[in-house]
Structure 1
């Protein structure tokens, strides 16, 4: 069906958008921070996406697309960088509002070090594959910067909790996209290991996408708070 990918995008953002007016979370009042974060992150990931499409790292099945292309990408793929980050940051804010106590706080640095170590190890063995190289290289840079350079803005313990919860819809949405398949991967450009039909790298692609969005979101909130003070 030509509307498959578009309907998946709509399904991803529908409930987070409707529930943005929840009285406790008040997510709509933070749109002035989230949309700039999504825009800036989206530009980076769209450049990445365009490059990978041209290099045949992945491709899109026209049977499940409406047929509108921009910058060499299907419209639905561009919308993906709006719907998924919005939904994931919404999850992040809901968890912060309803569950302010977070037991991951004392483990966040250890988790960051673990993921940095994983990134380095996989880069050592998979540096000759485009998806593996760019994916883990980007995560290594962003994670190291957020954890060790940007020391005044501390949110990683909240980020890891949101990431773990976001994996639930990730398996549903990405499962559909890779099983149908809407998105087709060239296994010569990844390590070839999959969780079901989902490439292993996709888990860390989600981490990078969510981390950059949350970092910019928290940065913009912090600057607004300082200006008001």
Structure 2
């Protein structure tokens, strides 16, 4: 059973959202192709980042927890991760936006963006020698700056709230991948390449990395479905 660990993580992450997509009140199944296109746009740079970090030894995988199939140095399950996790995230955002209003959340756009950019910039300057920390800071600062100052999106506060809603799932998935509840981690990190601050077994960078990936998935999904404000 050990070799099915990562594939089962992907499966259980996506299965409930996938089945619920066919509900006549939601009909997210009609947007599958558009989701695939938007998530691929985001997945490409993040997969390249993943391949580069794996090659450099910033992180590596314990193949005992995978089916053993590799593509460009990454396990097949890692490729699927960049579609399964965004699917669950985008589906959740889509449903919450469809059935609830979070207009008050958008009042916090400026606070979220300015606070995040300042804090992340300080961390990046202080720990510029930690490649995972630095690149995560750069990508997240650029993402927030583009969405707020250039694209002028009004839903950053709403998306940030949804990301908080998704955090229990994030802790469950990333917790297992980083060694919670199992004998050893599926994904291992070089101590010299990140801050070393962990939430349980999860590097704090993972949460920031996930946030930027989430925002970009929402942005391109909205853009492709023409559901923009």
| TM-score normalized with structure 1 length | 0.93
1:15-35 deviations in whole A, cap 9, x for unaligned? 110011123322112223311
2:205 paired with 1:201? yes
Alpha-carbon offset, residue 187 of structure 1:
1.4
Query: Could you tell me whether the CA contact under 8 Å between 1:24 and 1:97 is conserved in 2?
Result: no
Alpha-carbon offset, residue 118 of structure 1:
1.7
Alpha-carbon offset, residue 160 of structure 1:
1.0
Alpha-carbon offset, residue 37 of structure 1:
1.0
Query: Could you tell me whether the CA contact under 8 Å between 2:109 and 2:154 is conserved in 1?
Result: no
1:186 to 185, 190, 194: 190
Alpha-carbon offset, residue 167 of structure 1:
0.9
| Structure 1 runs of 4+ with >6 Å offset | none
Query: Could you tell me whether the CA contact under 8 Å between 2:177 and 2:186 is conserved in 1?
Result: yes
| CA distance in 2: counterparts of 1:129 and 1:55, whole angstroms | 13
| CA distance in 1: counterparts of 2:177 and 2:213, whole angstroms | 17
> What runs of 5+ residues in structure 1 fail to find an aligned partner?
none
Which range is displaced more, 18-27 or 113-122?
A: 18-27
Task: Give the RMSD, CA atoms, in angstroms.
Answer: 1.4
Matched residue, 1:15: 16
Could you say what secondary structure the match of 1:35 adopts? helix
Query: Could you tell me whether the CA contact under 8 Å between 2:51 and 2:74 is conserved in 1?
Result: yes
> What runs of 5+ residues in structure 2 fail to find an aligned partner?
none
| TM-score normalized with structure 2 length | 0.93
1:131-157 deviations in whole A, cap 9, x for unaligned? 001111111111100110002x43212
Could you say what secondary structure the match of 2:104 adopts? coil
Matched residue, 1:38: 39
Matched residue, 2:128: 127
Which range is displaced more, 183-192 or 21-30?
A: 21-30
Matched residue, 1:103: 104
Matched residue, 1:165: 165
Residues 24 and 112 from structure 1, CA distance in 2 versus in 1: closer, same or farther, beyond 3 angstroms? farther
